Amino acid sequence: MAKIIDGKQISAQVKDECKEKVAKENLEVTLAVIQVGNDPASTVYVGNKKKACEYIGIHSLSYELPEETSEEELLALVEKLNHDNTVHGILVQLPLPAHINEDKVIETISPKKDVDGFHPQSVGALSIGQPGFVSCTPAGIIQLLKRSGIEMDGKECVIVGRSNIVGKPMAMLMLRENATVTICHSHTKNLKEVTKRADILIVAIGKPKFITSDYVKEGAVVIDVGIHRNENNKLCGDVDFEEVEPLASAITPVPGGVGPMTIAMLMNNCVEAKG
Ligand code: GUN
């Protein structure tokens, strides 16, 4: 029986630490949250981010822009917020409408206010071990592992998925923890053989229940970044939890594993942005 890594509890711990710091040091922190259009999933995420700000005592400024907003208008707003000394963090919710170049928007956010950790300067700093904001989901996974007492030093870590937001920064963070790191993706040959080497298996591929028991070594720690809704409206991850849980030594559930950590680490980044 695997230990269930409780992301709800650990994220609450992280948020409470942020709340305490804000109160103790009388910090006035402001996060600007920009949403373009009204993608329903984005609306839920943005709402949750604003709620977390309220809980911690971070001011949030909300910019809800219409779908037709031009790239120039959005870039002008980001520039204005970059120069506003009362704003410490800027978050542009992705995805953006197709007529707006996401990379251009991300590159316009000041690295000092890049609480998502998506700016090329933040990504570069992470890869050469310099201080900077780290993408929230991979940073949250490190906290899940550390706070569950899971050793990373010298361990074989296999990451499935090579996205800029999760897979690549995750690899950099695991290297920083002295793990031996392998990144797999859709072109990897003999995927099962590679994933079976993992002491720590981190899965972010966006395919429901893709990782079954034959991908997992007995005693592995399994971290599931995926979240999907099945035909019965039930949530599941990229890992087939029922099959893999008996094999694993520790595993994150979906929901209540990695998901809640993303917002907790965003809050942590906002508090640091003030720092
Ligand atoms: N869309 C999905 N996840 C994220 C995230 O972490 N940050 C932003 N800005 N947009 C997202």
The secondary structure of 129-156 as a DSSP string is T------HHHHHHHHHHHHTT---TT-E
Buried b vs exposed e over 160-181: b needs ≥16 C-beta within 10 Å? bbbbebbbbbbbbbbbebebeb
Q: Identify the band that residue 145 occupies on the pLDDT scale cut at 50, 70 and 90.
A: very high
Q: In the annotation, is 93 catalytic?
A: yes
| Global pTM exceeds 0.75 | yes
Cα(48) to centroid of ligand 1, in Å? 12
Which whole number is the average pLDDT over 16-31? 98
- Please tell me if the CB atom of residue 60 comes closer than 6 angstroms to any atom of ligand 1: no
- The pLDDT tens digits of the residues spanning 51-62 come to 999 999 999 999
- Please tell me if the CB atom of residue 116 comes closer than 6 angstroms to any atom of ligand 1: yes
Q: In this structure, which residue's CA is closest to atom 4 in ligand 1?
A: 94
Which helix (H) or strand (E) segment holds residue 244: the answer is: helix 241-244
Q: In the annotation, is 214 catalytic?
A: no
Which helix (H) or strand (E) segment holds residue 23: the answer is: helix 7-24
Which whole number is the average pLDDT over 212-233? 96
Q: Identify the band that residue 230 occupies on the pLDDT scale cut at 50, 70 and 90.
A: confident
Pick the catalytic residue: 6, 15, 35, 49? Answer: 49
Helix and strand counts by DSSP (H, E) for the chain: 10, 11
Q: Which tokens sit at 85?
A: 């000394």
Pick the catalytic residue: 15, 35, 114, 116? Answer: 116
- Which atom number of ligand 1 is nearest to the Cα of residue 95? 1
